[in-house]
Amino acid sequence: MKLSRIITTLLSGLPVTLTLLVFSFIFAAAIGLGIAWLSLRNSAVCYNISRLYLGLVRGTPPLLMLLLAYYGLPKLFLLVGININDWSKLLFGIVGLSVGWSGYLSEAFRSAYLSVDQGQYEAALVVGMNPSDAFWRIIMPQTVLIALPNIENLVIGLVKATSLVYVIGLVDMYSSATDLSNQNQGVYQLEIFVVLALIYWMIVLAIEWVFRSIKKEYQYVTV
């Protein structure tokens, strides 16, 4: 089998892989911020809710999370009379991965927030900024910068976790590779998987480059 055929077949799954990666990350970050916010409030109820969520989400294997999203979520929605059975598989994949990664991201945000020097928050208040400006302009940017190395790790982990969506029958790069291998009775298995590994590796390289650029841009902001 020609190498070009392997490459084009695998790349046909790339848009699904990238869509899963980008949207799962965005939603996971949004949920993670919300959970981190809950756990940092001065409220035992909020704190306990966030801990419960974290315990459940972090304690569930990502593969299982995808299965729960795909088979469980429609049942849950039917209870309140909403039919989501015709949602595309891609959406369920995104939901499963987002929930699965939200716990890790919330901990990355929470620990980063706690290590920002709160004296700067006070300084912002005493120059007359209102609390929300002080938070969004001074504390939040530094929280993100501190969390950056953790976030990078988590994004790279997410790249590889996208390959798990085969369990709900979604055809991403990994599924395309196994399908191609099976169609050829496994004869070209090794070549196919080496090419697949190289493509994943290049995605990770691109991610590392993006994070390196951000770090370089803010190299003088030592927090």
What is the binding site for other proteins (CB under 8 A)? Answer: 117, 119-120, 122-130, 133, 137-138, 141-142, 145, 218, 220-223
The alpha carbon of 176 is separated from its chain's Cα centroid by a whole number of angstroms, namely 22
Is the Cβ of residue 185 or residue 222 nearer to other proteins in the bound state?
222
Is the Cβ of residue 69 or residue 146 nearer to other proteins in the bound state?
146
Is the Cβ of residue 122 or residue 182 nearer to other proteins in the bound state?
122
Q: Answer yes or no: are the C-beta atoms of 102 and 24 closer than 8 Å.
A: no
Provide DSSP, 140-158.
HHHHHHHHHHHHHHHHHHH
Q: Answer yes or no: are the C-beta atoms of 202 and 10 closer than 8 Å.
A: no
**Integer Cα distance of 139 and 125 in angstroms:** 12
Phi then psi dihedrals of residue 129, to 5 deg? -75, 145
The minimum distance between CB 105 and other proteins, in angstroms, equals 21
The minimum distance between CB 221 and other proteins, in angstroms, equals 5
Return the closest-CA partner of residue 97 out of 59, 50, 57.
Answer: 57
The minimum distance between CB 121 and other proteins, in angstroms, equals 9
| Contacts by residues 208-215 (CB-CB < 8 Å, ≥ 24 positions apart) | 208/152, 208/156, 211/148, 211/151, 211/152, 214/148, 215/148
The minimum distance between CB 143 and other proteins, in angstroms, equals 10
The minimum distance between CB 124 and other proteins, in angstroms, equals 7
Is the Cβ of residue 122 or residue 208 nearer to other proteins in the bound state?
122
Is the Cβ of residue 124 or residue 165 nearer to other proteins in the bound state?
124
Q: Is 118 in a helix, a strand, or coil?
A: coil
